[in-house]
Amino acid sequence: MQTTPVVLIHGAWLHASSWEAWAERFARHGYAVDVPGWPGEEPTVAAARRNLDPVRDLRIGDLLAHYERIARSCDTPAVLIGHALGGLIAQRLLGAGIGQAAVAIAPQPPTGLVLPDAESNRMSSKLFSASVEDNGFVPMPRQQFRSLVANTVGEQEAGKLYERYALPAPHRLLTEGELAVNTDNTARGPLLLVSGQEDRMVTDAVTRATYKLYSDSTAVTDLKQFADRGHSLVFDSGWRDIADYVLTWLADNVSDF
């Protein structure tokens, strides 16, 4: 039996190493794990902070094509797991028939998702409350990271997470980052949407609204909400609860396990 590949896709303001604990845990459970960074992304946070140039002009189409190539290169259909913008990309690929299953954790909302005005304004202010630097990036200051991303952990842990994983995000990608998904493809593989109910970046209400877009589909679509968890739920000290839930869900929904 071939080993099921898993592709882990990170979102904006984070480095691919934010998946490091997941990569180890999923490998121990028999998956062939790939954690590809964005095209041009340096292999470490320190190197990426020194050299942001390769990702400055990334567009959403670049990211989509990058991860599509990776998913299609797998010997067997991959499980796609994404966080934030990565969760949106995972949905788009699965809806296009790429991959055998997907997990979208606190996923950025797809094009066409209608949100209440207050929610839309709140999300917009989060994304652009920090000024755009001359180099074309939107920084995530430490205090903003604490308030929006790591709001459910202690101050000390939030600081460590910031130092370990946080990066500025390309302004172009943030402003041109809309992506439509095919919610009507009944032939696609299973999809799990995950939210943290204290998430201030992609709120639980947004993830629930995304889930409702799939309400007419007969394909497997599940929603899991985690109480008292914020946007850092995949890489903070409580990551294992999320990862283990996903492993159990995959065992129930992916034929190889």
Dihedral pair phi/psi, residue 141, rounded to 5°: -60, 155
Predicted local confidence at residue 257, as pLDDT: 47
Mean pLDDT (the chain, rounded): 92
| Whole-Å CA distances, 115 to 15, 165, 166, 207 | 28, 29, 28, 11
Predicted local confidence at residue 122, as pLDDT: 58
Element holding 170 (H helix, E strand): strand 169-170
Q: What share of the chain is helix, strand, coil (3-state, %, to 5)?
A: 40, 15, 45
- The better pLDDT of the pair 73, 114 is held by 73
Predicted TM-score (pTM) of the model is: 0.94
Please say whether the beta carbons of 239 and 231 come within 8 A. Answer: no
Q: Report the DSSP beta bridge partners of residue 256.
A: none
Q: pLDDT tens, 90-139?
A: 999 999 999 999 999 999 999 988 776 566 545 545 555 455 555 899 99
Please say whether the beta carbons of 213 and 193 come within 8 A. Answer: no
Intra-chain end-to-end CA distance of the chain, in Å: 10
Predicted local confidence at residue 114, as pLDDT: 78
Q: pLDDT tens, 32-58?
A: 999 999 999 999 999 999 999 999 999
- The better pLDDT of the pair 52, 2 is held by 52
Which CATH number does the domain 5-253 belong to among 3.20.20.70, 3.40.50.2300, 1.20.1250.20, 3.40.50.1820? 3.40.50.1820
Domain boundaries, the chain: 5-253
How far is Cα 34 from Cα 6, in angstroms, rounded to an integer? Answer: 6
Nearest-10 Cα torsion for 22, 190, 110, 180: 120
Q: For residue 82, which of 72, 73, 92, 97 has the smallest C-alpha distance?
A: 92
Predicted local confidence at residue 112, as pLDDT: 85
